[in-house]
């Protein structure tokens, strides 16, 4: 099983975690935001980039829109290029997520129309 570090402990990291198959095990999230270091996301620790050198991982998955800068940062930290992967932009941007917001808007529209028709019926029926 491949041991993976997800770089990005925000929304992109959450989306990356949800998209992974069972053949990969996330051992840590990594993030540049110091306030996240030492925290936990979905039961997985959040580490600082400097800690990567001491971790036994197979691959780093960049789950951030800032992937060009993060890629360069990982190379500078000594992570081999063949151990760096960039999350699919569709997953990063949530294109694979169900459109629940649209669903609820349609439901709300039906409720409003239904109430308007009921009011019209009551007005006509007197």
Q: Are residues 53 and 68 in the same domain?
A: yes
Q: Are residues 60 and 113 in the same domain?
A: no
Nearest CA-CA partner of 6 in 80, 14, 36, 40: 14
**With a threshold of 0.85, does the pTM exceed it?**
no
Residue range 14-59, pLDDT digits in tens: 999 988 988 899 999 999 999 999 999 999 999 999 999 999 999 9
Q: In whole angstroms, what is the distance from residue 60 CA to residue 70 CA?
A: 11
Residue range 79-116, pLDDT digits in tens: 999 999 999 888 888 775 555 556 666 767 778 887 87
- Number of independent structural domains in the chain: 2
Q: Give the range of the structural domain holding residue 78, as residue numbers without chain letter.
A: 2-92
Q: CATH number for the domain including 65?
A: 3.40.50.720
- DSSP annotation of 53 reads G
Q: Are residues 18 and 59 in the same domain?
A: yes
Q: Are residues 7 and 31 in the same domain?
A: yes
């Amino acid at each position: 099983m491949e041991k993976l570090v997800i770089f990005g402990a925000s929304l992109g990291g959450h989306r990356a975690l949800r998209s992974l198959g069972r053949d990969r095990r996330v051992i840590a999230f990594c993030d540049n935001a110091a306030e996240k270091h030492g925290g936990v996301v979905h039961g997985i620790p959040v580490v600082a980039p400097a800690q990567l050198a001491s971790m036994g991982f197979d691959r780093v998955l960049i789950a951030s829109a800032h992937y060009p800068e993060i890629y360069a940062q990982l190379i500078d930290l000594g992570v081999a290029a063949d151990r760096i992967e960039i999350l699919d932009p569709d997953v990063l941007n949530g294109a694979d997520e169900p459109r629940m917001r649209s669903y609820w808007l349609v439901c709300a529209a039906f409720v409003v129309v239904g109430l308007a028709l009921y009011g019209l019926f009551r007005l006509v029926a007197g």
